[in-house]
């Protein structure tokens, strides 16, 4: 497995070893010792699966208590995946990084606690599977505005196409008004 930092050093791009033959392929999507050696010493408590239609934008989500680290992988289709640093003490506070994740590519990203996370489905259907380091706590859930100009996220939406949003995501807060981390 190869791991490299993205534009925000704590967000990691993970390229697993994939063993291919005439039958298809095999890979380990999680192996605690290998990930710990790569700098991800996480204990996961829950697996989530999200299925979305094209142009659905989910996020940018985070929890102010019980912040969740997320190991994110696409198992069908393609998404544009985004992480935003919400740690005020970080030199990259308020900055974002976005990458394309595909089922065909088999890559994953690590989004540590203290970040908001979201994605845009780019294919007819997209399924995102992610492991999280803490349990969902609805009272602590927050949403950062996906279109906050201060974040500078260049969502790959075609001209004239508006994302499909939940009411919750439509009403996210701008960074300057959002609850963040120390």
The answer to whether residues 163 and 57 touch, using CB atoms and an 8 Å cutoff, is: yes
Q: Token digits for 167? A: 């009411």
Question: Residues 50, 177, 8, 99: is their CA dihedral positive or negative?
Answer: positive
| Calpha distance 119→61 (Å, rounded) | 10
Identify whether the C-beta of residue 172 lies closer than 8 Å to the C-beta of residue 164: no
* Catalytic residue from among 62, 107, 117, 130: 130
Q: Is 25 a catalytic residue?
A: no
171 phi and psi angles, rounded to 5 deg: -105, 25
Catalytic residue among 35, 61, 62, 162: 61
Place of tokens 């990084």: 97
61 in catalytic set = yes
Catalytic residue numbers read 61, 130
């Amino acid at each position: 497995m190869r791991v490299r930092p993205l534009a925000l050093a704590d967000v990691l791009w993970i390229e697993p070893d994939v063993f291919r033959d005439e039958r298809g392929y095999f890979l380990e999507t999680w192996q605690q010792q290998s990930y710990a050696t790569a700098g991800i010493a996480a204990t996961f408590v829950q697996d989530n699966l999200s299925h979305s239609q094209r142009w659905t934008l989910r996020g940018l989500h985070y929890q102010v208590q019980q912040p969740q680290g997320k190991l994110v992988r696409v198992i069908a289709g393609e998404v544009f995946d985004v992480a935003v640093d919400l740690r005020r003490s970080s030199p990259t506070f308020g900055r974002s990084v976005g990458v394309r994740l595909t089922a065909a590519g088999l890559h994953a990203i690590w989004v540590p606690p203290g970040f908001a996370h979201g994605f845009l489905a780019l294919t007819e259907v997209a399924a995102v599977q992610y492991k999280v380091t803490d349990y969902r706590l609805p009272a602590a859930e927050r949403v950062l505005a996906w279109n906050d100009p201060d974040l500078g996220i260049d969502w790959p939406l075609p001209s004239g196409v508006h994302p499909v949003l939940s009411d919750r995501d439509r009403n996210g807060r701008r960074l300057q008004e959002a609850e963040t981390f120390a």
